[in-house]
Structure 1
């Protein structure tokens, strides 16, 4: 199935949305993953971890990613738009960004334990150079990207 990268959020808006969810007191199951050519990091939010501890781990990982790749595109996955599964979008983002130097693909899922109304699923595609980010947008954003 083809992937469609929709108009991205600003990173500021993405962080505001993340902060609002983590500060809401709602119970979430959380998953955070950074995939880079040379490393991968996964953080899960299970019942034994506080929202603050999960947020701190995610913040530290995002800060580390920003030090290597400062130019980000942030996409939000939504059931209401009938988007593909976040893992399918992640796989496509990894495949499409491999041609760029020192990219990272970050996925973040916060899924409500009682309902899906406050779910948040974000995909960050992080580039070392702004020209790579602009190129990615021109090539893939707003267009259907076929499976390999």
Structure 2
């Protein structure tokens, strides 16, 4: 099935949405995964971990990613648009971004334990150079990208 990268969110809006969910007091199952060519990091939010502790670990991982790849595109996955599974979008982003030096793909998933209305699923595609980010947008955004 083809992957479709929809119009991205701004970094500021993405972080606002994350902060809103984490400060809501709701219970979430969550994870953050950073995939780079040379490394991979996963932060999980198990039962019993506070929202603050998860936020701190996620912030550290995002900050580390930003240090080496400062130019980001952020895509939100939504059930209401019949988007593909977050892992399918992530895998396509990894495959397509491999041609860019030091690119990273970050997946953030916050799924409400009692209510799906507050779910948040984001894919960050992070680039070292602004020209790489622009190139990715021109090539893939708003277009169906075949699996290959």
What TM-score does the superposition give when structure 2 sets the normalisation length?
0.99
SS in structure 2 at match of 1:83: coil
In the TM superposition, structure 1's runs of 4+ consecutive aligned residues that sit over 2 Å from their partners are none
2:135 corresponds in structure 1 to 135
* Partner Cα distance (1:20, 1:115) in 2: 15
Q: Deviations over 1:67-124 (max 9, x none)?
A: 0000000000000000000000000000000000000000000000001000000000
Q: Deviations over 1:106-145 (max 9, x none)?
A: 0000000001000000000000000000000000000000
1:61 corresponds in structure 2 to 61
RMSD: 0.3
* Partner Cα distance (2:45, 2:143) in 1: 33
* Partner Cα distance (1:38, 1:100) in 2: 13
* Partner Cα distance (1:120, 1:26) in 2: 13
The aligned length equals 148
Flag structure 1 segments of 5+ consecutive residues without an equivalent.
none
Tell me by how many angstroms 1:56 deviates.
0.2
What TM-score does the superposition give when structure 1 sets the normalisation length?
0.99
SS in structure 2 at match of 1:8: coil
* Partner Cα distance (2:80, 2:129) in 1: 33
Tell me by how many angstroms 1:48 deviates.
1.8
* Partner Cα distance (2:147, 2:34) in 1: 22
1:33 corresponds in structure 2 to 33
